[in-house]
Amino acid sequence: MEKVKQFFDLIGLDGATVNNLISDEQSDDFSIEDAAKAYAEKRTALILNDSAIIGELKTKFNNEQYPAIVKPIISRLKKLGGLSDDEIKELAGEGKSIPELKAVFDLAETSYQKKMASTADDVKSQLFSIQNEYNEYKASQEKQLQTIHEQYAQERKMEKVKHKFSKIVAGLDLVLPTDAADKLLQVDLLGKYNFDVDGDNLIATNQDGTKAADGKNFLTAQQLITKAADEYKILKRSNGDDGAPTPPNKPNTSVSVPSGKLSENAARLKREIEEAEKRGY
């Protein structure tokens, strides 16, 4: 058991989580799901900032894109400098098929200057043009890598947002199955507001970055979700003004969805809800 604890420590689990995992009795507030999510989030943060992984991405990108871009440039340099295949192979070195462009630039310029000193200025102009092409490629490569990194970070963020969103919906007293209500509310709200996770809290703002509000009162993410559920009439409520609850054998499952307001997915959910009403759910 001590080795198991050491293993959990080494992969980054905190002491309280490790104790709950190896103990026969867990604390009341311990959740295996939350522990797994916390570990996944920590691992994601490490990945996004791991220079070795980013280096692997660059290496993979270079292996796929570099040859297609560089081979035509090297071909032009060979012709310009009168270089042979053996000279290019020697520049590449053992185990490599393509040499560094800087080395080819230098050799091509030196070779050409020796053979045609009178046209050295023209050679430099062409080399300058080729160098610019390579610099543009390199800048494009870095931009694409940054885009990949940002997309990955955004996907991880939305996973956390949807997880927190679903937990809030699961805590509501609903007339619908939780999954159906969760899909309905996510389709409606995730397109209208910007959601993010701050620590353990889900936060929501308007598209312009201002705080979501109902009149003069600012709304938390939970209040926003509850308000939307109330507007769709999917919260359980009394069956009249006298406060009497809805009879158990016929719960109130009526859902009012404004025509044309929702996407196709939300419209499909509305049809499923109506079919559930007909079956007496």
pLDDT at 12 over 70: no
Banded pLDDT at 200 (limits 50, 70, 90): confident
> What pLDDT is stored for residue 183 in this prediction?
92
Banded pLDDT at 1 (limits 50, 70, 90): low
Of the two residues 14 and 181, the one the predictor is more confident about is 181
Banded pLDDT at 82 (limits 50, 70, 90): confident
> What pLDDT is stored for residue 189 in this prediction?
92
Nearest to 161 by CA among 139, 186, 130, 179: 186
> What pLDDT is stored for residue 91 in this prediction?
83
Task: Give the lowest-confidence range in 22-36, 68-82, 89-103.
Answer: 22-36
> What pLDDT is stored for residue 131 in this prediction?
87
Nearest to 62 by CA among 142, 135, 130, 129: 142
User: What is d(CA 223, CA 214) in angstroms, rounded to the nearest whole number?
Assistant: 10
> What pLDDT is stored for residue 63 in this prediction?
67
> What pLDDT is stored for residue 118 in this prediction?
62
Query: Mean pLDDT of all residues in the chain?
Result: 77
Contacts of 122 (CB under 8 A, 6+ apart): none
For residues 204-217, average pLDDT? 85
pLDDT at 195 over 90: yes
> What pLDDT is stored for residue 277 in this prediction?
59
Percent of the chain residues topping a pLDDT of 90: 17
User: What is d(CA 56, CA 170) in angstroms, rounded to the nearest whole number?
Assistant: 40
DSSP 202: E
The answer to whether the pTM exceeds 0.85 is no
Nearest to 239 by CA among 230, 231, 247: 247
Please state the φ and ψ torsions of residue 195, each to the nearest 5 degrees. Answer: -110, 145
Q: Nearest-5° angle of CA 183, CA 184, CA 186? A: 65
> What pLDDT is stored for residue 185 in this prediction?
93
The per-residue pLDDT for range 229-281, each reduced to its tens digit, is: 999 999 987 544 333 334 334 344 444 444 444 445 556 666 766 665 565 54
Q: Is 101 helix (H, G, I), strand (E, B) or coil?
A: helix
